[in-house]
Amino acid sequence: MQHKPTDEQDESYNGITFEVVEETSENGKKVRNTGIYLLPNLFTTAALFSGFYAIIASMQHRFEPAAIAIFFAAIFDGMDGRVARMTNTQSAFGEQYDSLSDLVSFGVAPAILVFSYSLETLGKFGWMCAFVYTACAAFRLARFNVQIASVDKRYFIGLASPLAAAIIASMVWAGFDNKMPNKLQELAIFASVITVLTGFLMVSNFKFYSFKELDRSRVPFAMMLPVVLVMGIVTYDLPIGLLAVSVVYALSAPLTAIWSKLRPNKT
């Protein structure tokens, strides 16, 4: 049974159309806008393409290009939001499109990468660990969307999905680059533990510093010295360096929470 659209719907859904219609509020009045902003959505599409490419490369056992593609997806994902804010082109469509892109690039792609590299050795247990990671990424993104207006912008509640993907991608990249026997069962068990724990960190309530305010604040000149040092260490052995930085960041919030619990309260 077909339902006839209302007059308001007729204006936007007249026959076959590919138009996007958004309803926004301007000066207390509802305004209907058609179309999308091109520039930020181009970066989101580039991130989605990188994640899709990582999936295809993982299925072909081309692990290094797959891991690198996930890092490119993270770079593009970081740029689309900044471009949207700089050009004042934020939109509800862009937010939803970004979340769907993140699920592919940082939820599905890393899970398939680590499964194809090592977890398939464990059979059903391996793909269940990969699925747990993907499901946690989906939960993390859904929670972020509903809490975006009520949380402190300085912190992420739970490990952000691009940073979780960086742990998985750099772990596989480091293993492949150092010619580790990826089909070794002990390595597969280790990879499964890291995969599941990373997923749980995404849905945890630990507060991770977001670094969103660093580009708007002044810091002492001496702060550049450790930054340069870290960059030098990372670039000396890129896969291991990225893995080390990702793991340190992932552990920072849990260790900070434990330290605050154990530290005696000052009265």
Query: Is the per-residue pLDDT at 265 higher than 80?
Result: no
Domain-embedded: residue 237: yes
Query: Is the per-residue pLDDT at 244 higher than 50?
Result: yes
pLDDT of residue 219: 66
Domain-embedded: residue 31: no
pLDDT of residue 234: 79
Domain-embedded: residue 197: yes
Task: Name which of 103, 95, 105 is nearest 136 in CA terms.
Answer: 103
Phi-psi map region of 42: left, alpha, beta (phi>0 left; psi -120 to 50 alpha): alpha
CA-CA-CA-CA torsion sign (113, 119, 120, 125): negative
CATH number at residue 71: 1.20.120.1760
pLDDT of residue 24: 60
| Lowest mean pLDDT segment, chosen from 46-50, 93-97, 115-119 | 93-97
Query: Is the per-residue pLDDT at 13 higher than 60?
Result: no
Per residue in 169-194, pLDDT tens?
999 999 999 888 877 888 999 999 99
What the block records as the tokens of 157 is 């509640």
Total domains in the fold of the chain: 1
Q: Rounded mean pLDDT of the chain?
A: 83
Containing structural domain, residue 225 = 38-262
**β-pair type (155-157, 29-34):** unpaired
Domain-embedded: residue 4: no
- How far apart CA 239 and CA 234 sit, in angstroms, is 8
**Confidence class of residue 146 from pLDDT cuts 50, 70 and 90?**
confident
Domain-embedded: residue 20: no
pLDDT of residue 267: 47
pLDDT of residue 119: 94
Query: Is the per-residue pLDDT at 111 higher than 90?
Result: yes
Domain-embedded: residue 45: yes
**Confidence class of residue 141 from pLDDT cuts 50, 70 and 90?**
very high
Share of the chain above pLDDT 70, in %: 79
Per residue in 25-72, pLDDT tens?
656 566 556 656 778 889 999 999 999 999 999 999 999 999 999 999
Q: In terms of pLDDT, which residue wins out, 3 or 136? A: 136
Domain-embedded: residue 247: yes
Domain-embedded: residue 162: yes
